[in-house]
Structure 1
Amino acid sequence: MSDYLYEDDTYKIIGALIEVHKNLGKGFSEIVYKDAFEYELKRINFYFEREKEYLVHYKDIILNHKFYADFVILDKIIIEIKSTELLHEKHISQCLNYLHVSGHRLAILVNFNKTSLEYKRIIK
């Protein structure tokens, strides 16, 4: 038994992300990669929500600030897409916020603005 969280699903998701990068390369804005990734998710028949909204609960109220995850796949894996020179700690923190507010355990932070696709698995 593997200790790799959601191994089979992650493998297919990374494959879809690589397919997008292989076809588009680097240099586009994030929205282009998101649209192409959505196409690939539909092609592999994976259930997903795009720009999933999360509310922040505090005591007996809901705070004004909301979080929006780029994709939530199979109700358990968060995908955050970037097209930037470098991934920074703030990008990882963003994913950790999504994990905390959603209750999910895995986020994948993706950067398309590299010669080869860059991604980080972030586990809570």
Structure 2
Amino acid sequence: MEKRTYQDEVDKLIEVVNYIYKQLGHGCQEHVYKEVLELELELRNIPYARKTDSSGIQNNRSEFICFDKIIVGLDTHSYLSEEQENSFMNSLKDIDSPVGLLFNFGYKNLQYIKVGGSYVFQ
């Protein structure tokens, strides 16, 4: 079996979000970043879906499932708290996702955390 780390996919997603941050900066409302991310994912032919809860209703949080396994979360807080990070990690468990990226556009510099990067995927 081929082992995958999804590093190429993670790098592409970080590149997309960095591009968005360079264009928009910080301080926009969350829905603006979400809409621009959707457009960029489509333009770059990156497969994605909006995260839904177990009842099939679209999640209020700005989360996407990219490349069928990577959760991408967006926040616009002044900093990423431990509570936000824990909530995001629980999102990974909800869909049995091996890796996730949580981006925060609310700080003067783009912040992000990568969860699950040390795993080996099969």
TM-score tier after normalising by the smaller chain length: 0.7 to 0.9
Q: Does 1:83 align with 2:82?
A: no
Matched residue count: 112
1:114 is the counterpart of 2:103? no
Residue identity (%): 29
Deviation, 1:85, is: 0.5
Of structures 1 and 2, the larger Rg is shown by: 1
More strand by share: 1
1:96 aligns with 2:89: yes
Moved over 2 A (4+): 66-69
Counterpart-to-counterpart distance in 1, 2:17 and 2:109: 11
Q: CA deviation at 1:5?
A: 2.8
- Shift of the 43–95 alpha-carbon distance from structure 1 to 2, 3 Å rule, reads same
Contact 1:84 1:112 in 2 (8 A): yes
Greater shift in the superposed pair: 107-116 or 24-33: 107-116
| Contact residue 85 and residue 114 of structure 1 kept, 8 A | yes
Aligned-partner SS, 1:107? strand
Q: Helix, strand or coil for the counterpart of 1:34?
A: helix
Note the residue ranges of structure 1 that are not aligned, 5 or more in a row: 56-63
Cα distance in structure 2, aligned partners of 1:4 and 1:90: 29
Mark the CA change 1:67 to 1:45 in structure 2 (over 3 Å): closer, same or farther. closer
**Alpha-carbon distance change, 26 to 4 in structure 1, aligned in 2, over 3 angstroms:** farther
Give the Cα separation in 1 of the matches to 2:88 and 2:107.
20
Hey, what's the Cα distance between the residues in 1 that align with 2:4 and 2:112?
16
Partner SS for 2:53: strand
Q: Name the counterpart of 1:74.
A: 67
For structure 2, the 5+ residue unaligned runs are none
Q: CA deviation at 1:92?
A: 1.1
Greater RCO structure (CA 8 Å; 6+ sep): 2
Query: TM-score, length-normalised on structure 2?
Result: 0.83
RMSD: 2.2
